[in-house]
Structure 1
Amino acid sequence: MLSAQDLGRFLGDLRAERGLTQAQLADELGISRRYVYEIESGKPSLYSDRLFATLRLLGARLTVEAEVDDGPVEVVDDRQRSVLDGEARHGTP
């Protein structure tokens, strides 16, 4: 993941997949629904801006996994997906 928007999109999709509304998640976390919305929309914050700037500067990428019934599933961002798709078409492992 390269940005707070990528992470927020992942979290929003996962929340919806788990059948939770923003209000339900907010209640579980003890925060406002508005804050959940801001997280899921990738609203810039000093922390997230610095975190992703540091990752970029160091040439690192944040990887997030979600637990499912069959074990963890790695989330692949759009850039990784296009590389993996290209490798699959060209027979590259």
Structure 2
Amino acid sequence: MRSIRTEIDSPEMLGFALQQGRLVKGLSQRELAAQLGVGQKWVWEMEGGKPGLLTTRMFAMLKATGVRLYADLPLPEGISKDGVDG
């Protein structure tokens, strides 16, 4: 599967990346929550970038150390990296 790489520099960007991955997989929030053994609200909050203790500290540590976090987001079938159907 083709993907596009993006920097994850905030809880909101992490949530967006997770949401896009879920959508490409064709999963609802409820289905993903069931797979993970968590409530749908937790998936919704993660995708919304709701700051939590772990994510707040993690992004503070990334910033303080100069470490960059990247994600490879899967592209839906028929979409190329330049956004053109292909």
Structure 1 runs not aligned, ≥5 long: 69-93
CA deviations on 1:67-90 (whole Å, 9 max, x unpaired) are: 67xxxxxxxxxxxxxxxxxxxxxx
- How far, CA to CA, are the matches of 2:13 and 2:74 in structure 1? 18
RMSD (CA atoms): 1.3
Unaligned runs of 5+ in 2: 1-7, 76-86
Normalized per residue, the structure richer in strand is 2
SS of 1:63's equivalent?
Answer: strand
Distance 2:59 2:73 in 1: 20
AA of the residue aligned to 2:22 = R
* Mapped pair 1:4 → 2:6: no
What is the CA-CA distance between 1:63 and the residue it aligns to?
Answer: 1.1
Of structures 1 and 2, the one scoring higher in RCO (CA 8 A, sep 6+) is 2
More helix by share: 1
Count, aligned residues = 68
Counterparts of residues 1-93 of structure 1 (less than 5 Å): 1-66=8-73
SS in structure 2 at match of 1:20: coil
Three-state SS of the structure 1 residue aligned to 2:31 is helix
Equivalent pair of 2:21/2:74 in contact (CA under 8 Å): no
Structure whose CA Rg is larger = 1
Point out 4+ residue stretches in structure 1 off by more than 6 angstroms: none
Give the letter for the 1:33 counterpart.
Q
Q: Give the alignment's TM-score, normalised by structure 1.
A: 0.68
1:29 counterpart letter in structure 2? L
**Paired amino acid for 2:31:** Q
